[in-house]
């Protein structure tokens, strides 16, 4: 299923570059945030029909491609369990280094449960810094307490 989505993702990247659009501009046109819009265009989220149609209108996609944007994906965007690309690997490294810390601190504050990766949102911004600008990522996920029954 993802092969079609992957191909569409690549096509959107080309169209985006050709039209000189930013993710912020596409996001604004369809009424969602840039991170989510990018994830949906790359085939990891399912667009509502209306958003898919707006995306199609903006970029010039066919009806089949519009439907593909609406399809629910088999998620998982990476070719290996441990990612090789350095930018993506750094996030994997954070899990190796901070995994037990996240566990400790979330349990201390909320008790037994997890941070949802489904009822979840994320934003990314540039943080100007004289020693070198920083990438700032803010994520919130609903705390889900483990059900005791």
Where in the sequence numbering do the catalytic residues fall?
A: 90, 93, 116
Q: How many residues bind a copy of itself (CB under 8 A)?
A: 90
Does position 33 bind a copy of itself by CB under 8 A? yes
Nearer Cβ to a copy of itself, position 57 or 104?
Answer: 104
Supply φ then ψ for residue 41, to 5 degrees.
-65, -35
Does position 72 bind a copy of itself by CB under 8 A? yes
Does position 97 bind a copy of itself by CB under 8 A? yes
Residues paired with 120 in a beta bridge: 141
| Cα separation, 125 vs 132, whole angstroms | 14
Does position 149 bind a copy of itself by CB under 8 A? yes
CB–CB of 41/12 below 8 Å?
yes
| Cα separation, 68 vs 32, whole angstroms | 18
CA-to-CA separations, 4 to 8, 12, 37, 74, 76, in angstroms, rounded = 6, 12, 18, 11, 14
Nearer Cβ to a copy of itself, position 15 or 33?
Answer: 33
Nearer Cβ to a copy of itself, position 35 or 56?
Answer: 35
Does position 136 bind a copy of itself by CB under 8 A? yes
Does position 63 bind a copy of itself by CB under 8 A? no
Does position 20 bind a copy of itself by CB under 8 A? no
């Amino acid at each position: 299923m993802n092969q079609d989505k992957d191909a569409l993702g690549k096509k959107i990247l080309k169209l985006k570059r050709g039209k000189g659009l930013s993710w912020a501009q596409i996001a604004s046109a369809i009424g969602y945030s840039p991170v989510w819009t990018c994830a949906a265009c790359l085939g990891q989220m399912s667009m509502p029909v209306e958003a898919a149609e707006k995306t199609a209108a903006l970029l010039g996609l066919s009806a089949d491609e519009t439907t593909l944007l609406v399809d629910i994906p088999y998620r998982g965007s990476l070719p290996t369990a441990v990612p090789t690309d350095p930018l993506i690997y750094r996030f994997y490294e954070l899990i190796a280094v901070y995994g037990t810390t996240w566990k400790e601190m979330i349990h201390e504050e909320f008790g037994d449960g997890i941070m949802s990766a489904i009822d979840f949102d994320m934003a990314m911004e540039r943080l100007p810094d004289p020693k070198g600008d920083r990438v700032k990522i803010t994520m919130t996920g609903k705390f889900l307490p483990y059900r005791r029954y």
